[in-house]
Amino acid sequence: MNSIIKAENLTFSYPGDEDSKPVPALKGVSFEIEEGSFTAILGHNGSGKSTLAKLLCMINTPDSGKLWIMGKDMTAQDVTDEDIMNARRDVGMVFQNPDNQIVATIVEEDVAFGCENLGLPPHEIRKRVDKALADVGMTKYARHPATDLSGGQKQRVAIAGVIAMKRRCIIFDESTAMLDPMGRREVMKIIQKLNKEEHITVILITHHMNEAAKADRVIVMNEGKIIRDGTPKYVFCDPEAMWESDLDVPQTTELLFKLKNAGLDLPLDEFDVHKCAAVIAAEVRRKMEAQK
């Protein structure tokens, strides 16, 4: 496996207030992310998802454990500032609130901002900004004031900024959480396209189970640890285990699970609504034929 990120037993605590003890946020997290893959991370508020994301982007440093980015040990004694800068170039992040991420008044200037910080020549920046805006379907808004955009459009501009910096891996930390259903769908389509067509490694932190079902792999976190890790089929096809942990499953899975318990012979892993409807219709037809 060609892993872009490898984590071994990562721990991290936030310093507590004056007289309180440190707050442990990660209690030994190990996993490997394959280059080009699409991983979703689920878990309750406070389970450590954002803390983990910040370690992977080198915003924070782990207290213990090991972290490799593109095979380079970022926790080694001899890690240089240049190594850290390179790792930050490889792994980028898109945050939750679209308003906090827009830094310039005009859309294309905002997208160019990160590239300017990388010190790239103007013609290269122009090329990258045009491509990134096209990738997120925002070309016609290039000269628009960023403040006039909808939440979904702002989030697409924020994503364009990260694309323009040519990250190998993008972590989306609940980047669809503040969007309406339409904005969420827009952004999810772009995320899937980046992964499938541009081969960017995606880590999607989300509370939406239907979004997680679109990933190749789902990691579930609880109290600073990984409690489940596997394909969407593996993680969601035991709905009772998820409900016991107070987590949801995609609505399609819940419906299929209840119909299955009512006696229909159905798979639980049809996450697409249309396909789910089709398997139910086919099974109902089969039952009716059998009763004739």
Query: Which residues make up the interface to ligand ADP (CB under 6 A)?
Result: 14, 23, 25, 43, 45-51
47 contacts which partner out of ligand ADP, Mg ion, none, CB within 5 to 8 A by kind? ligand ADP
State which residue has the least CB distance to Mg ion: 50
CA dist., res. 218 & res. 225, Å (int): 14
* Tokens describing residue 202: 């995606």
SS3 (DSSP) at 283: helix
23 contacts which partner out of ligand ADP, Mg ion, none, CB within 5 to 8 A by kind? ligand ADP
Strands 38-43 and 3-14 turn out to be unpaired
- At closest approach, how far in Å is the CB of 259 from Mg ion? 34
Is the CB of 136 or the CB of 171 nearer to Mg ion?
A: 171
Q: What backbone phi and psi angles, to 5 degrees, belong to 216? A: -80, -25
279 contacts which partner out of Mg ion, ligand ADP, none, CB within 5 to 8 A by kind? none
51 contacts which partner out of Mg ion, ligand ADP, none, CB within 5 to 8 A by kind? ligand ADP
Is the CB of 130 or the CB of 223 nearer to ligand ADP?
A: 223
Helix or strand run (H / E) with residue 27: strand 23-34
CA dist., res. 267 & res. 259, Å (int): 10
**Comparing C-alpha atoms, which of 227, 167, 165 is closest to residue 199?**
167
Listing from the earlier edge strand, what are the strands of the sheet with 91-94? 91-94, 169-173, 201-205, 38-43, 217-222, 225-230
Is the CB of 24 or the CB of 137 nearer to ligand ADP?
A: 24
Q: Are 16 and 22 in contact (CB under 8 A)?
A: yes
* Tokens describing residue 50: 């954002």
Is the CB of 14 or the CB of 243 nearer to ligand ADP?
A: 14
Q: Are 202 and 191 in contact (CB under 8 A)?
A: yes
**Which region among 36-44, 45-53, 218-226, 230-238 touches Mg ion (by CB under 5 A)?**
45-53
- At closest approach, how far in Å is the CB of 5 from ligand ADP? 17
Is the CB of 174 or the CB of 270 nearer to Mg ion?
A: 174
The site for Mg ion, by CB under 5 A, has a size of 1
14 contacts which partner out of Mg ion, ligand ADP, none, CB within 5 to 8 A by kind? ligand ADP
48 contacts which partner out of Mg ion, ligand ADP, none, CB within 5 to 8 A by kind? ligand ADP
CA dist., res. 35 & res. 175, Å (int): 21
- At closest approach, how far in Å is the CB of 37 from Mg ion? 21
One of 39, 47, 50, 210 touching Mg ion (CB under 5 A) = 50
- At closest approach, how far in Å is the CB of 41 from ligand ADP? 8
- At closest approach, how far in Å is the CB of 48 from Mg ion? 9
- At closest approach, how far in Å is the CB of 206 from Mg ion? 10
Torsion-angle region of 137 (φ positive above 0: left; ψ -120 to 50: alpha; else: beta) = left
CA distance readout (Å), 83 to 13, 58, 66, 87, 113: 24, 11, 15, 6, 22
- At closest approach, how far in Å is the CB of 95 from Mg ion? 9
Place of tokens 């159905």: 266
Site residues (vs Mg ion, CB under 5 A): 50
